[in-house]
Amino acid sequence: MVKSESTRDMTRVELLGIQENLKDSDYTEVERFRESFDADEMGFVGRREGI
């Protein structure tokens, strides 16, 4: 799982909780969630690349 500086200290359970919430969201809610992050400031960590 790819983690960012914002999520690197989250447990797997916390990350799965976020995924569950997003799974039940409509497109507008997901779009609003994505726009709430600044990709330039997220600073991805880990060995795998983000998509």
What confidence tens digit (pLDDT) does each residue in 1-50 have?
667 777 888 898 988 888 888 788 888 988 887 788 776 666 665 556 55
Tokens 């909780």 belong to residue: 17
Which DSSP symbol is given to 6?
Answer: T
Cα gap 47→13, rounded to integer Å: 21
Q: For residue 6, give its domain range.
A: 1-51
Determine if the pTM surpasses 0.85.
Answer: no
Tokens 């726009």 belong to residue: 35
What domain count does the chain have?
A: 1
